[in-house]
Structures are given as C-alpha cells and as structure tokens.
Amino acid sequence: HINARPITLEDYLTANAELLDKKQSDRTNIFISPHNVHWCSDDMLRAMSDFARRNNTGLHIHLQETIYQKMYGSRHWSKTPLGHLLELGVLGPEVSCAHGVWLTESDVDILAETGTAICHNPSSNLRLKSGVAPINRLMDRNVTVAIGIDEAGINDDNDIIQEMRLAQKIHREPGISSRSPTSHQVFELNTVNGSKITFFEDQIGTLEPGKRADLVLINMDRIEEPYLHPDTDIVDALVFRGKGLDVDTVIVDGEALLRNKVFERLDKADVIARFKDSLARPLTEREISRGALSKQLMPSIEKWFSAWPLETGDPHYTYNLAD
C-alpha cells in the first residue's frame, strides 16, 4: 500500500502465529492469504504453505481471475499460475483459490487431483470484466466449488441469495441438452461447500444432529407474490425469486442474532448513522493523492497491457458465434 510500512514475510507469519495463539472464538478460522501468485516469490509461497500445514489451517489465494494473469504464467513459467503452484507443492485440500476464471483443461485436472477448491464470484467477475469461470466443468470433475462476492457484488448490496441466482443463470449453456446447474446444486455450493473451504464442515453447512444450530429463516410472503404454484420446489423458489430482504431470522449456534428483521445485539440505524458521520468529512491529503495517482497511472497501465495480444483457444462455454 502507498505510504504503508513494509511488512516482511517473517512479520506476516509472526502476526498470524500470534492471531492463532490468541484466537478465543471457535466461530472463526484464520487462514494464510498470499494475494496472488505473480505478486509473491516462490520462497514466500512455499513458506506460507508450510505455515498453513504446520498449523492445520487453510491457505486462500486469488488465482487466474483475469486473462492477463493466465498470460503472465505462460510468459514467466511456461505454464499456468496453477501449474506453477503445483510445481511448488503448494496445492491441496487445505487450499482455496478465488475466481479461477481462466482455467485450462489441465488446470481442471490439477484441481481435481489435488483436492484444491475454487471460490466462485460471478458478480465480481462480470463487474471487473474478468469473464465467466467454468463451473460446470469443475462440477463435472467433483472439484469443491463455493460461492462468494469478493466485495464487488453486482448490486452493491452483498446479497448472497441473489449471487446464487446469478451463479445458477450464468452457467446455463445454450442447447436443449446442455449442462445447467440446478437450484439445489448452487444452494449446496453456498452452504455445504462454503463450510468445507472454511474448515467448518464438521460444525455447520447442513442441519443434522451433532452440528451447530445455524439457520437462516426466510419470510416467503414476497417470494410467493403474486402467485407461486403449490408444487414449486422450495429451493427453486428461493433461488429464482429470493433476496436478502426476505431474511427474517438468523440463528447462530442456537442463538437468534436477527429476529423478525431486527438485530438483537446492535442498533442498525445507529451503526449506519455513525458510519455516515465518519465519512461526512473532506478527503484527506493522502486520499486525494492516492486518487490522483490512480488516474495518472491508468493511461500507462492501458498502454502496457494493450501490447499483450489476448490469447485465443477453445472456450469451456460457447455463448454465441460470429459467423
């Protein structure tokens, strides 16, 4: 970060070790998180992977979100970034990768064979012009896929129910017999698989004896308007029509934290008011300089990448034809 104090690898791992030692809540897990392959040295990636394994925790990394990241791998390692991680010995069931938009067939094989998971962020990938991840192909190979938002939801509302709907719709390939994820499948990505990649599989993700009572209760009144056929599958109704505003009650480990749309432990209006007050000020000099620097750099960034001819090949999905 601009003007931020440099943090060494030793500092980072020490800080994470302290967090793990001091962690008091069993409702949280602390993962190691190298940001992306091309921003980390090989030694750093190996050290972070070793730390995660020694401490029985996870490693989360952004991967092949853009075509330029895939092309970087071809230019620097003569393989994809995922292939480079395989070579370093970093992949495994404890690893989850955000995005995975620009995956090759070999990459899909690597994910399936190593048990490495993908966090699918459909809104973010569309919003940032990244593309569409080959989730159908990953599901065919039984790769663990979960759904996320990556703080770039398409409606700026962090609505995970609508994110499920987008995930279900965007992977409906043309053709009457083409692959199309069902509502139940995307619901499972959001619940069961979400618990897997966050290391909570034995505690949450499903409702069954021995697991925690984590529930989200939905008010179906708006979803059923103006009409919902009585034979409609309840998960279909939720995924096709639901929104976050339909959530009525949230129960965590048996305790209601949201009841009848009212938070039990905080005053929502007060939190929003204080947040708005904290932003009702002129921009600081640092904020202004960062914004100016971003605008100043953009023409150079565009010029740099315009010299990278985009790779072509057979797509996982075919949505239209030019002739």
C-alpha span between 255 and 191 (Å, rounded): 19
**Is residue 132 within 8 Å of residue 100, measured between CB atoms?**
no
Does the structure show a pLDDT above 60 at 232? yes
Q: Between vectors from CA 163 to CA 161 and to CA 165, what angle results, nearest 5°?
A: 75
Does the structure show a pLDDT above 70 at 3? no
Q: What is the pLDDT of residue 151?
A: 85
Overall average pLDDT of the 286-308 stretch: 94
Convert the pLDDT of each residue in 244-255 to its tens digit. 999 999 999 999
C-alpha span between 281 and 76 (Å, rounded): 45
C-alpha span between 132 and 121 (Å, rounded): 9
The closest of 308, 318, 315, 316 to 74, measured between CA atoms, is: 308
C-alpha span between 238 and 85 (Å, rounded): 38
Q: What is the pLDDT of residue 4?
A: 63
Calculate the average pLDDT of the chain. 95
Convert the pLDDT of each residue in 47-70 to its tens digit. 999 999 999 999 999 999 999 999
Overall average pLDDT of the 144-154 stretch: 91
Residues comprising the chain, all counted: 323
**Is residue 96 within 8 Å of residue 52, measured between CB atoms?**
no
Enumerate domains of the chain plus CATH numbers. Answer: 1-206 (3.20.20.140)
Cα torsion at 105, 106, 110, 116 (round to 10°)?
Answer: -40
Q: What is the pLDDT of residue 212?
A: 96
